[in-house]
Amino acid sequence: MQVISSKDNELVKHIKKLKDKKYRDESNEYIIEGIKLIEEAVKEKAKINKIIICEDTTNTYEIPTNVMLEIAKYECVYVTNKIFSTITQVTNPQGIMAVIEKNSNNQEIDFSQDIIVALDDIQDPGNLGTILRTVDSVGLNQIIVSKGTVDAFNSKVVRSTMGAIFRVNIIEVDDLIETIKMIKKHHFKLVVTSLQTKQSIYDINFNKKIIVIGNESNGVSEVIQDMADEKAKIPMIGKTESLNASVATGIVLYEYVRQKLNK
């Protein structure tokens, strides 16, 4: 078994550069780490280009036999513990990572969905990852993100999706406003959350709706607010006046689930 021990190895340099968004975009690849995410990638038939394993992994972590049998079907490369420590992006690595090809070739919007979620410049990686996981949990297969939204293939985002990154089509658009206008031509109506309305999210019929989630600091942009067909607020009976973006997304989407289950 050949083990890479040089920091000047081309693969090692390639993996290090994948920490940068610009390079991820150029190579159309990103990194996943940990046994659970590798297992999810295999199960969801993600395009795994290479699996990198620390030579000490089998001594430190117990990788399930079924996972080892599956990853053996892919191109696996072993590296020393010292090299792995220079390429990992997590605090407590499990000694296994993979280079995955992005699904960015599919940028077509699926208009057969009941609702379409769009993100207006979400900045926090944890928020984006949680939103992707929530979108996946309610059975949606896509999400639209503005150019100003944090990169969905950022390592923190990928980890917090818990595997949803392999099931949700991430469609990045240059002009969110024009994209919304185009979607509305397919008989969708735009819904935004706002405090400037008496209507509750429980008054909205979540069928053929575009739901826009706004930036953590500024909310949904004024231009998009002005385009809204309906505005609704999340009722809060306590003293808190606002909610975390990912929490708000979950509340709205699970009202959609409630309505769907009651039909």
Instruction: Kindly state the percentage of the chain with pLDDT values over 90.
Output: 78
Which pLDDT does position 72 carry in this prediction?
A: 87
Which pLDDT does position 194 carry in this prediction?
A: 84
Which pLDDT does position 58 carry in this prediction?
A: 55
Decide if 177 contacts 223 (C-beta within 8 A): yes
Which pLDDT does position 169 carry in this prediction?
A: 95
198-231 exposure pattern, b = at least 16 Cβ within 10 A, e = fewer: eeebeebebebbbbbbbbeeebbbeebbebbebb
Which pLDDT does position 254 carry in this prediction?
A: 97
Give the distance between the most distant pair of CA atoms in the chain: 67
Least confident range from 130-134, 156-160, 214-218: namely: 214-218
Which pLDDT does position 219 carry in this prediction?
A: 87
User: DSSP states of 113-153 as a string?
Assistant: SSEEEEESS---HHHHHHHHHHHHHTT--EEEEETTSPPTT
Tokens of 144: 């639209």
Q: How many residues does the chain have?
A: 263
Q: What domains, with CATH codes, occur in the chain?
A: 3-101 (3.30.1330.30), 115-262 (3.40.1280.10)
pLDDT at 253 over 60: yes
Q: pLDDT category, 39, cuts 50, 70, 90?
A: very high
pLDDT at 1 over 70: no
The model's pLDDT over 118-136, given as tens digits with 9 standing for 90+, comes to 999 999 999 999 999 999 9
User: For residue 12, what are the CA distances in angstroms to 81, 156, 158, 218?
Assistant: 13, 20, 20, 40
Residue 196 phi, psi (nearest 5): -90, 45
Q: What is the mean pLDDT of residues 193-220?
A: 92
Amino acid at 215: N
pLDDT at 263 over 90: no
Which pLDDT does position 12 carry in this prediction?
A: 97
pLDDT at 26 over 90: yes
pLDDT at 104 over 90: no
Nearest by Cα to 221 from 140, 120, 149, 72: 120
Rg for the chain, CA atoms, rounded: 21
CA atoms lying within 13 Å on the CB side of residue 253: 24
The model's pLDDT over 49-103, given as tens digits with 9 standing for 90+, comes to 999 999 876 555 667 777 778 888 999 999 999 999 999 999 888 899 999 999 7
Which pLDDT does position 204 carry in this prediction?
A: 95
